[in-house]
Each structure stands twice: as structure tokens, then as C-alpha cells.
Chains A and B, each alone.
Chain A
Amino acid sequence: MTTLRPGTRARTASTGAGAGTRTRTSRPLRALPSSLVLWLLALGFLIPVAWFLLSSFKPGSELFSLPLTLFPENWTVSGYTTAWNRFNFAQYFLNTSIVAVVTTVLTVLVSAMTGYALAKYQAWWLKVFFICILATTMLPTEVIMPSSFAVVRDLGLYNTLAGIIVPSIITATGIFMFRQYFKTIPDELLEAARIDGVSEFGAFWRIMLPLAKPIAVVLAIFSFQWRWNDYIWPLIVLRDPDRYTLQVALRSIVGADNVDWSVLLSASVISLVPMLILFAIFQRQILNADVNSGLKD
């Protein structure tokens, strides 16, 4: 820890990170600058989304008519109905949901088992494997795309949803999160279970895994988001438009020669709905997630 230099006593604190107030200035006045900055920034973050959302409710004729107005003059959902009818959204949703849900379940299970082994057993080969797992963060799919594709093709997974699911199951983040968490659970608990004659797998499945439920929920949410928004890997693995995931399908709309903005905006909003619902349900878990022990995928 760095020690503070004395000699600055005369100065009063201006703004600060959550320390108690000692100065005489009234609270509302002190709240002003940081609140102002916070809200200006928040506005900056919000405006793109708001403009995009509101535009999606404008009729095509109004999208480019000057002067531009923030709110649509005539609210319409015609962009939405056109988008929904023109593209096979039901199919894209189904495909993406299958990928996201199956991958998430498997990711949580495999990460929990691996993280548990790495936290609760000692062996040189476990250490070696842990280093291997950490190394995968340096070697993401993007870096070795051509050969990863060749492997998936040789395994007969090309143009299948399994080709997206199976390679995405193992994530360093998930394994790391579980490992850190299981390390905080006292070994005595495990020893006691062993004394009671519980098998190693039983101890994991009936005692340890239920204890790790908070981590499982956080990882599940993150994994779902990664897979829902994944683009490059599905783009490479899928050929058949009927198997397209949402992002790949969306990109094919964006890439069209003549962009129909009214349809594109609505289609993009439609693709966001599941994530918004997920966020609404798990807001508390997501915003309070202590993902510090993990890594990003």
C-alpha cells in the first residue's frame, strides 16, 4: 500500500470516491458536478440506442425527411411486420436459442467439473492442464480460424448447429470462475463428506455444485450472451440459410446492396428482445456479478 504524504491538510476534499463527508458544503451542491458528468455520459450512451429505437417506429418515408425529428410523427410497426414476414425470424430464433441454451448448459457443467477438480485436487498434471486452459485465452478461435474450420469440417460438424456448440463449450472464464469459487469453500466440508462415505462424484454433485449456484447463474448469463451475439464462428460453420443464427442472418440483411433501413432497424430491434428479457429477469445478478475472478471470452 502506498502511504500518503502529509502536508496537504489545509486542502478540503472536493469530489471523491465514496468517502464520508467532512466538509461543510451542503450535499446537494457537492452532488452537482459528479451527477452532471454522470448524466451527460449516460445521455451519450443512451442517445444512439434511443435514436435507433425511435427510428424503427417511423414509416419509411419519414426516415430521411428533413428536418429530422426525434419522435416519429406517425408511429408505425410496418417495419416490424415487413421484417418479420420477409425473413424467417422464427427459424433464426429457434436456431440461436438451441445454440445458446445447449452451449450454456454444457459450459456451466463442464466448467464446474473442471474448476472443481482444479480447486480441490492436487496433482502435477492438474497444474499443467490449468496452464493449458489459461493459454486458451491467448488462442481464441479468431486467431486460428482456418485450421479450426478444418477440424470442425473433418469431425463432420460443418453446417450443423453442433459445429457451433461443441467448440464453444470450454471457456477459460468459466473454469476460472468456478476454480476460484471452489477454492473458497473449506476442504473440511469435503473431508466430512468423504468420512460419511459419499463418493467423490456424489460430493461434487450433491454438495459442491449446489453451493456454487450463484457462480453457475452468473456464468450461465454470460455464456448465453456470448453465444446469442456470436458472429464470426457461426458465419464460418453455417452454410445453409435455414440454419443461420440471428447475427449471421442480420448481417446478410446489413450487407445487402440496397439497405432497406426501415426493415433493418426493425429486424435489429427484434433480435435484441431476448437479451432485453434476459436482462430484465436477471438484472440484479448481472449488475452485481463479481466477475473479477474470471476472464472475458
Chain B
Amino acid sequence: MSSRISARFAALKAQGRGALIPFLEAYDPDPATSMAILRGFPGAGADLIEIGVPFTDPMADGPTIQRAGQRGLRAGATLAGTLAMVRDFRHEDDATPVILMGYYNPILSYGVERFCSDAAASGVDGLIVVDVPPEEADEIEPAAKANGLDLIRLVAPTTGDERLPRVLSATTGFVYYVAITGITGTRSATAEALAAAIPRIRAHTNLPIAIGFGVRTPEQAAEAATIADGAVVASALIETLAANLDEHGRAKPDAVRKVLDQVRALAEAVRGVRKAA
């Protein structure tokens, strides 16, 4: 069922390039604005899309994403509302993979099985549940699998060689490499560190690898999408959105365009580098 992710990575590989995966926080700063950004992502060059599900206590995220989540929650964000966004998006785009990234408690509260079934029906392709490590995989894996949702796992610099196989065996879709030990939006990994880390993971898996945390500029995105198979850009886009809110926290008229322009610049840089197919 969930072939969008693997189909997309296969197509990109055939084109000889990596993926740009932009991130948006659902309902940030309001449902209409975040829906407009979501709708605009593919046209601006997004190859896959990651949607953050707001949570009050996002312990792996930095202040930028935390504030985005708080704006989303104030605007009424819920898990059901986030799924409705994906459903609307699917009316006009049936090809771009959509991944939800969030924390476990809202899913638990919604009901794990009901959530996985509703997510798949809404057109979600994969899940990243930050605080469910492989050790707790049975919490969500059966329901995700039954509904054809990929369970994308984080691999961190602290994930040692003896632990890698365990993490990777619990992963489908792609591997999300957390480039730094740290929270989102704080600092960036060096090209050397990434160049050393990615082959270490490749030795254990055939899945595509995307690099996230600390990927901010077009140059960094291009580099990450070359060293690995994709680059996730989150905090840098949210900062642009946040910088284009008025004093009441409402999106200024050109806020969406500015975010999409940034995605376009990132996409051009990623598309500018070719790699061996």
C-alpha cells in the first residue's frame, strides 16, 4: 500500500539526485496558512513532505519548533485536524509522500489502531514517532504495518554499531539520520562528520537515508542530499514563517510566498548536484 515513499526515492535515484524534504508544523500559525504552505510545497520542489504534529512537550525539539507547535495548538491543532490537512492535500496531489512527525501521547490518546487506520486512509505514508524507540516498537509497529504505514526511525550519532542493526531492522521507508547530538534548530554537523556517518549506516541497510537536524542553507541541503539520499529542512523554514507574522501572530500577506521561495532555493541547490545513480 505505502509505495509512495519507495517509489519516490527510486525515481530520484534514477534521476541521479537526492530528495529535498521540507517540514511544516500543522496549524502554524493557523490552519489556512499551513495548508497553503503544504499545497505549495510540491510546486516549489519538495520531493517528500514532513508534517509536524503539535505537542505541548516536544522534548527533542528546540525552541523554534516548540514555538511553532504552541502556535499550532493555540490555533486548534489536533491529530484529527492534521489528518484532515493531509486528506485535503491528497485531493490535488497523489504522488508526493507525506510523513507525520510527532510524539506518542497524542497518538495514544487518539487510539493507536484507529490513528494508523485513519492516517493511512487520509493519505499519510509514514510516521516518525520521536519518543518510541525500537525497544518500545510493539506499541505501534503492528498497527502501522497492518495499515501499510512506514515506520521511519531516527538514527543518531550516539547509535553505536552494535545497536544499529536493531534500530534499522525496525525501520521501513527510509532512515532519518539525526546529524547532531542535540535538539532541532541548534547547530549543524560538519560535512566530514556526515561523510563518515552515512557509510556506517549504509553498511547495515539498503534503505534510503535522509539527513535532518541542522540542515539550514541551500548549500547544506545540497551537501546532505549528496552524501545521503535526502535532506530534511525544518527550523530554517519555520524561522522564515515566524519572521513574517504580524504583532498579533497572524501571517503577513507574503509569508507563504517567502517560505515557498526558500523551499525553491533549497530545491534548486539539491537538484544542482548530480550523484552516481
A and B: bona fide binding partners:
no
Q: Which residues of B contact A (CB under 8 A)?
A: none
